[in-house]
Amino acid sequence: MSYLSAEDVSVAFAGLKALSSVNLKITPGHISGLIGPNGAGKTTLVNVLTGFQAPTSGAVTLDGQPLTNLKPHQVRRRGIARTFQGGRLFRDLPVIDNLEVTGVGLGMSRRAAIAEAEAMLDWIGIAPLKNRIAGTLPYTDERRVAIGRALMGRPAYILLDEPAAGMSAPEASDLSDLVRRIAKSLGIGVLIIEHNVGLVLGLCDHIVVLDSGAVIEEGDPAAIRDSEKVRHAYMGTAADTVRANLEVMA
């Protein structure tokens, strides 16, 4: 059984403990959720998993092999893709080129990269955006292009950093469908960071809750929904919206 895991990962930034002995495991075909209040360390964990941040201690392994010393592009070539909180598309390039560049980065010929990019845009359902300049896209489309870019070369794992932020309810629901297809029909292991707890509870097979750099709870959606600790962690931050979300699901 293959897996991607963070083992006892800690990260300290000049005294600030961003992560403390975090363990996390993702497997192909499954959707894991990573939630927690602002500043909990979610993005930092994704940075560690993708080679952008070296852990102060602990390790990242892929099928038991350590990845900790690899650079970001090497991690990507091992089949671990990610998106960014801010989108970070190649803004001056057309959508198709955004995907093509990634194919090229993975060693494909330009022709093969374009063929896959076109197939990918079809699959996601954004083929009409093909020739739009990425920097001119609305938010929702930008997110879907970023996901398409990360899916180039069919990675084994994809880590999504707040892909639904700022989306309306119907848009978020479309996004959930897309994420489900990525896991279920492509067999990719997904880790999704999301503040919309309702979306996470409805989508994920397994959820990890971070607070102040530590895992305070994990389990299936039902367990997370009922957890006192989780409710407590969210108090005082975005308490109202989170409670509303939790109640909608209950």
Ligand X SMILES: Nc1ncnc2c1ncn2[C@@H]1O[C@H](COP(=O)(O)OP(=O)(O)OP(=O)(O)O)[C@@H](O)[C@H]1O
Q: Which residues bind other proteins (CB under 8 A)?
A: 2, 28-29, 50, 52, 71-73, 76-77, 79, 81-82, 84, 88-94, 96-97, 100-102, 104-107, 109-112, 114-116, 118-120, 122-123, 131, 149-150, 152-156, 181, 185-188
The string of DSSP letters for 114-175 reads HHHHHHHHHHHT-GGGTTSBGGGS-HHHHHHHHHHHHHTT--SEEEEESTTTT--HHHHHHH
CA angle centred on 106, ends 93 and 149, rounded to 5°: 45
15: contact with ligand X by CB under 6 A: no
Binding residue for ligand X, selected from 4, 40, 49, 159, defined by CB under 6 A = 40
The distance of closest approach from Cβ of residue 44 to ligand X in the complex, given in angstroms and rounded to an integer, is: 3
13: contact with ligand X by CB under 6 A: yes
Binding partner of residue 36 among ligand X, other proteins, Mg ion, none, CB under 5 to 8 Å per kind? ligand X
39: contact with ligand X by CB under 6 A: yes
What contacts 24+ positions apart, CB below 8 Å, involve 88-91? Answer: 88/146, 89/134, 89/135, 89/137, 89/142, 89/145, 89/146, 89/149, 90/134, 91/133, 91/134, 91/135
**Which pair of structure tokens corresponds to residue 20?**
């403390």
The distance of closest approach from Cβ of residue 57 to other proteins in the complex, given in angstroms and rounded to an integer, is: 24
Considering only residues 197 to 236 of the shown chain, the ones binding ligand X according to CB under 6 A are none
CB contact at 8 A, 217 and 234: no
The distance of closest approach from Cβ of residue 212 to ligand X in the complex, given in angstroms and rounded to an integer, is: 9
Footprint of Mg ion (CB under 5 A): 43
Amino acid at 37: P
The distance of closest approach from Cβ of residue 29 to other proteins in the complex, given in angstroms and rounded to an integer, is: 6
139: contact with ligand X by CB under 6 A: no
Stretch that binds ligand X, among 24-32, 38-46, 127-135, 217-225 (CB under 6 A): 38-46
CB contact at 8 A, 34 and 211: no
Residues 6+ apart with CB under 8 A from 250: 225
Reduce the DSSP state of residue 212 to 3 states and report it.
coil
190/229 Cα distance (integer angstroms) = 25
Residues 6+ apart with CB under 8 A from 155: 76, 79, 80, 81, 188
43: contact with ligand X by CB under 6 A: yes
Binding partner of residue 81 among ligand X, Mg ion, other proteins, none, CB under 5 to 8 Å per kind? other proteins
* Per-residue x/- track, 64-103, ligand X (CB under 6 A): ---------------------x------------------
- Name the residues that contact ligand X, by CB under 6 A: 13, 16, 18, 36, 38-44, 85
